[in-house]
Structure 1
Amino acid sequence: MSFIARSTWVAVVGLVWGGAMAGCSSESSTLPEDHPDSGERPDGGPGPEPDAGSRPDSGERPDGGPEPEPDAGSRPECTTADTSRCSYDHATATCVADKCALGQCTADYGNCNGRAEDGCEQPLLSNVAHCGQCGNVCPSDNGRASCVKGSCEIACDPGYRKKDGHCVSAQTVSAGIDYTCSIRPNGTVSCWGDDTRGRATPPENVPFIDVTAGASDHTCGIRADGTAACWGSNEYQESTIPASLRDRIFLEIEPGLRITCGLLDTTELVCWGLTSELTASSPPPALLSFGTGFTQISVGVDYVCAVDVNQHVQCAGNNMYKKVSGHSDALFASVAAGWNHTCGLHLDGSVECWGDNQWHQLDAPKAAGFKEVSNRGNFSCARRENGSVTCWGYDKNGRTSPPPGIYQQVSTGGNHACGMLVSGQIACWGDTPPAL
């Protein structure tokens, strides 16, 4: 119905215009030449170019130039075979899912902040906050820290000495056989008691950072510059620092009966004096080396013990009562050698003793929580984390009965013991030697 009505309408229009019925002819769709959509201008000239935006994409711009490159952001940053567009400081680059990614850090650098954009930003050989590895902070309490070739070093302030990588108070006290020595606040050494062979007569006006009274007649210490000195008995050259060691840096030095042993800053354990007490070699060497890899030493009357870098105890010398070999395979933080028994401090702060037990020297407290153990004669003392001191073994004249107080250090001798209180005062008990 609608189709017929539309045809009638077209015919009527054709009649009104007065021309032939264009709607009935096949040429009825032809436009006049001057029609705006005819493709030609009324003056006969060519019609305008079609809108470029309506043309099919020809691959060229309207001016004939090349089409622009696709957006670079759509291209891959890299491939597994080509990472030339990737760059990171002190690190290699890799390609993950067509994106640049941080690869391996170059030697001696670390990516310590966890961000890839700035690469491996920390030099591990010299940074005290990341020394040797990320997050390893060099301790600087009471001293000046430095990172040297990836290892922490510390230069202690005046009045402090280096121990176990930290700076501790240089005000120490050491109980020997019937005499005692200590370091004054100005660094000089003071000794009192039996001065046999000059063992209680230290060098004058020489600053020390450590001193140890011996198991017999000689005393040793470490000067402020790290070199060692001994005084007193020298029958077996035990008080003479070997020529090759006179300019070396010592971390520890301890006298025995006729021997002296030291721990060098290279972790080497060396001994001199009557070294036949320590080795079966004949003739015994004037300077005996047990090699490197030690962190702490203690010298008994005729033997020496040390803790190695794996925190095991190793001992050499007279093995009477198994004072050299009687320890367990546990890990130790420190060891203390005496006359005929030895004690060690485990990593959990408990104490283990081995050797002679005639006076219950091996009956150490079962509890943990100790920070230090000392042993020289037939009794031992240990300092707890809270600063209190407890002793056990031969109790003649109150040797195992320390006065109450908060101690920063404790030392046992042959017949007496002394401790340094946190106030800097010295307390002694047992057969205490009189002051000089």
Structure 2
Amino acid sequence: MNENHDNAPRPTDDQTLGAALGQAIGRRWESLNRVPPIAGVLERSAAAARARRIRRTLMGVAAAAALLVGGLIAGNTLGDDGDGTVRVATELTVDATTADLQPADPPAADPQPLEQPAAETARGAKDPSGESTDPFPGVPEPEPLPTGPTSTWIDADLDAERSPTDTSIQQATQPAAAPGPIGATPSSDSFVAIAAGSDHFCALRADSTIVCWGDNSYGQLDVPSGSFTAIAAGWDHSCALRADSTIVCWGNNENLRGDHVGQADAPAGSFTAIAAGMDHSCAIRADSTVVCWGDNGWGQTEAPAGAVTAISAGWKHSCAIRTDGAIWCWGYGYSTRGDVAFSRIDVPSGSFSAIATGFEHSCALRADGTIVCWREYSFSQTDPPAGTYTAISAGSRHSCALRADGAIVCWGDNGFGQTDAPTGTYTAIAAGAFYSCALRADTTIACWGRGDHVLVDVPAGTFTAVTAGPNHSCGLRADGTIACWGDNYFGDTDAPTGIFTAVTAGSRHSCGLRADGTIACWGDNTGHVGNFAGQAEALEGAFTAVTAGGTHSCGLRADGTIACWGDNYFGQTDAPEGSFAAIAASSEHSCGLRADGTIACWGDNYFGQTDAPEGSFAAVAAAASHSCALRADGTIACWGDNSRGQTDAPAGAYTAIAAGGFYSCALRTDSTIACWGDNSRGQTDAPAGAYTAIAAGHVHSCALRADNTITCWNWTANLPEGVHWLS
């Protein structure tokens, strides 16, 4: 059934405000990691896959609720199309675990396809992307999806850092079976195509093999062997087109809908192009028709009949370019599920050659080389620059395009530097959630924006201590000053000047112990002192040790008592009385080593992480859902969540202990390092050598060498040869 809303009334200012409020409510619901608590807890356990399904279901419910609430508040926002369906017209004009260790002893988220209406209406769905500018500042939100084309014949668009992702691939304009080198002699480190996923990235080599790097939690790096002609990276799965024109997919396959086909269950047949979205995938058959599979919660896999030349898979929608150059889109915002049509989206008219779908916006390359984008949201990612282009890619809240002269232009959200495109000549572009990558003319790859890889860019110099947070690290220099590196979105690495004796890195803030015994903190202050704004603050007084957790911190006073401040949702700041010798804070619980050698823990105990064993100990470390301690005899005891083997401490004698996200590390008596637990990002691949201290973050680790230099490692420390991250 075809419908048109050319004459649909534009919403009034009151309606706009109501819709925006509805959207804000949806985003607020989605952003609260503890609502409902069980979903957040499960997400950290072995039942992570089930928890994600629960969270996504709640996100869908919240999206619908947000639209309906916004409509009801607006009064006349809800309207009847005359055929029994209800239309919600919204015009939005507003945007409405850690462990650280000091040296040696101390511890360290069944409609029929419709032709696009001419009336422009905006979406009212909630935003599952990264940091937001909603009316509830300081509340972290899930990160958005990756998206965008990557070359003249293949283009991938996806999102990064735990957000939805999409991938769009253009159908080959030349025989796809022979991709060939681009501007250089083929070699093992020459690439011809790239695809950006959420937390992983894939590239097609000149020899037709594929290499992927990044997060491997769902096997998204487990590339099958064989010869390929195209590659697509989704949220946490990937797909590729083999030389024989068949499709193979790998990675997360949890989203089964209707006929129980997951996003990684590729259909049989012969194909010419492939695209991977958040939880669904699409491909163009040899007869130029489209087939999609995976999550169909918004009709995103119900492709219309007809011949197409290009395909793109986004968050909850898909788009294709017809043989006449026109655009087709279906899924969220484009078609009807049940009896409610959510803000149908108007697509531009004209002739197009490429299409890229992002999280909340889409872009297309016109036949004349100009770009048009629609579905305006925040950060102006739908305001493309003038000029002539050959390729486009849409990220979560930013977009990038390749100029006819080989230069790159990016626009939109630049919170992580994802639009700071480097100079040079390029042949392909891929935009992720908070980062972008491009294929150089010499067939090497350059990436910029947010990336955990920056954690391995350790500053030069000599240090006496090292500490690791989830996305940043700090070191105490031999001269008593502090150097921090990594993610600085909240000012986490903006260490103050002065002389310090200790440093600790929390989730999004850091603290240091000054030579005079006072504490200085910097970075995100959400929840740390209850004012939900500004830089992190610390308690007054004299202390001998400090530890930074998720959204709380603790200090050991000169008299041996513990003082904690910040978020106390789980009682993580309710330190027990008594005399202590060491402290450790994690995301939602804390532990202390008493003067008598026993351990006391408090805060969140869902996984038993505060149920400390009896005995005499010399050091303690706390992670998100487990804790570890070094016994007086040098052996290790761990307790709490063991879903990834993080509490299965190896036998032997040790001198230091560190607990990371879902893994643990320890320093042996021979000064070598042992790590165990989750190794999806290489965080337990400890380097050889002699060390004096060890620190574990969420997915990376750092250690202090015997020569007082620092070494860090994780999944980004092993980027393939020919791949360069630009800082």
TM-score in terms of structure 2 length: 0.35
One of 269, 273, 295 as aligned partner of 2:294: 273
1:351 corresponding residue in structure 2:
371
Match of 1:303 in 2: 317
Q: Which residue, 353, 369, 386 being the options, matches 1:333?
A: 353
Task: Choose the corresponding residue for 2:425, options 389, 396, 406.
Answer: 406
Match for residue 79 of structure 1? none
Query: Partner of 1:253 in structure 2?
Result: 274
1:334, 1:388 → 2: CA distance?
Answer: 18
- Name the SS for the 2:297 alignment partner: helix
**After the TM superposition, which residues 173-188 of structure 1 pair with which residues of structure 2 at under 5 Å, given as runs?**
173-188=194-209
Displacement after TM superposition at 1:273 (Å): 1.0
Distance 2:196 2:425 in 1: 18
Q: Which runs of 5+ in 2 are unaligned?
A: 1-172, 183-189, 335-340, 454-715, 719-727
The 1:262/1:433 distance shift into structure 2, 3 A limit, reads: farther
Distance 1:332 1:187 in 2: 29
Mapped contact 1:323–1:355 kept (Cα < 8 A): no
Percent identical across equivalent pairs? 31
Structure 1 Cα separation of the partners of residues 386 and 342 of structure 2 = 21
- The aligned length equals 265
* Residues in 2 aligned to 1:155 and 1:201: alpha-carbon distance in whole angstroms: 23
Greater relative contact order (Cα < 8 A, sep 6+): 2
Q: 1:221 aligns with which of 240, 246, 270?
A: 240
Q: Hey, what's the Cα distance between the residues in 2 that align with 1:328 and 1:155? A: 29
CA contact 2:181–2:443 (8 Å) conserved in 1: no
> Structure 1 residue 371 and structure 2 residue 371: aligned?
no
1:241 aligned onto 2:265: yes
Deviations 1:193-216 (A, max 9, x none): 12221112211x3221111111x2
Aligned match of 1:429: 448
What is the CA-CA distance between 1:288 and the residue it aligns to?
4.3
The answer to whether the 8 A contact 1:278-1:317 is kept is: yes
Deviation at 1:156, TM superposition (A): 4.0
Residue of structure 2 in register with 1:198 after alignment:
219
Pick from 389, 402, 406: which aligns with 1:383?
402
Does structure 2 retain, via aligned residues, the 8 Å contact 1:370–1:383? Answer: yes
Tell me if the contact between 1:267 and 1:294 (Cα under 8 Å) persists in the aligned partners: yes
Matching residue within 191, 207, 212 for 2:227 = 207
Shift of 1:255: 1.4
1:327-365 residue CA offsets vs partner (Å, 9 max, x unmatched): 221221111001000001111111111113211111110
CA distance in 1, matches of 2:342, 2:203: 32
Distance (whole Å) between structure 2 residues aligned to residue 323 and residue 390 of structure 1: 30
Change in Cα spacing, 1:201 to 1:365, as seen in structure 2 (3 Å) is same
Q: Distance in 2 between matches of 1:419 and 1:323?
A: 34
Q: For residue 182 of structure 1, give the secondary structure of its aligned residue in structure 2.
A: strand
SS in 2 for 1:276: coil
Q: CA deviation at 1:189?
A: 1.1
1:158-212 Cα deviation digits (max 9, x unpaired) = 6379xxxxxxx97111111122110122221111112221112211x32211111
Instruction: Choose 1 or 2 for highest CA Rg.
Output: 1
Give the match's secondary structure for 2:244. coil
Give, in angstroms, the shift of residue 238 of structure 1.
2.7
Letter in structure 2 aligned against 1:341: H
SS in 1 for 2:281: strand
User: Does the CA-based 8 Å contact 1:180-1:433 persist in structure 2?
Assistant: no
**Contact preservation (8 Å) 1:259, 1:272:** yes
* Structure 1 letter corresponding to 2:291: V
Q: For residues 322 and 330 of structure 1, do their structure 2 counterparts lie closer, same or farther at Cα, with a shift above 3 Å needed?
A: farther
Q: In structure 2, the residue corresponding to 1:339 is in which secondary structure? A: coil
Structure 1 segment 9-158 matched on structure 2, within 5 A: 154=175, 156-157=177-178
Could you tell me whether the CA contact under 8 Å between 2:289 and 2:306 is conserved in 1? Answer: yes
Segments of 5+ residues of structure 1 without an aligned counterpart are 1-151, 162-168, 280-286
Counterpart AA for 1:343? C
Structure 1 distance, partners of 2:273, 2:395, is 17
Q: Secondary structure at the match of 1:195?
A: coil
Q: Distance in 2 between matches of 1:332 and 1:415?
A: 27
Alpha-carbon separation, structure 1, partners of 2:330 and 2:181? 31
Amino acid at match of 1:307: I
Could you tell me which residue of structure 2 aligns to residue 65 of structure 1? none
Change beyond 3 A, Cα 1:395–1:323: farther
Partner Cα separation in structure 2 for residue 172 and residue 255 of structure 1 = 15
Q: TM-score, normalised by structure 1?
A: 0.57
SS in 2 for 1:364: coil
SS at match of 1:229: strand
- Equivalent residue letter for 2:202: C
CA distance in 2, matches of 1:194, 1:323: 35
Secondary structure at the aligned position of 2:378 is classed as: coil
**1:417 Cα deviation after fit:** 0.8
State the one-letter code of the partner of 1:411. A
SS in 2 for 1:359: helix
